[in-house]
Amino acid sequence: MNSSQLVNFPVQLTCKISEISEISPMIDEFINYYKNAKSGEFSCRILLPRNLKSNNDVKRLGATIHAEIMLSMKKNKLIANLRDIRYIHDDNNYGWLLLNPKMAEKL
């Protein structure tokens, strides 16, 4: 699997996060989409900035997003059926695909 396949993989929801204050609205949008998506067609891309002070800042941001997604899914009594793939999206962003495992097989 090469990065151009990941960058060009068609998703139904894309969220771009550049600061912590954007996480909560993104989580709400993600959960709403997850609830309403047909299980076999769920695909989401989250873009995280590469220009933060350090890689640890990006890792913390990603860990916070992951924890919030899992917590929100539990609160909404949703079962997480996701495969996540992390990659370098472009010069300014890291990419994170959250897909139904069957869609991930298409890669």
Q: What is the pLDDT of residue 3?
A: 76
Look at residue 73 and tell me whether its pLDDT is greater than 80.
yes
pLDDT in tens, 50-65: 876 666 777 888 888 9
Higher pLDDT, 55 or 78: 78
Q: Could you tell me if 95 and 16 are in contact, meaning their C-beta atoms sit under 8 angstroms apart?
A: no
Q: What's the structural domain count of the chain?
A: 1
Domain encompassing residue 49: 3-104
Percentage of the chain beyond pLDDT 90 is 40
Residue 77: left if φ>0, alpha if ψ -120 to 50, beta else—which one?
A: left
pTM (2 d.p.): 0.86
Total residue count of the chain as it appears in this document: 107
pLDDT class for 68, splitting at 50, 70, 90? very high
CATH number at residue 79: 3.30.110.10
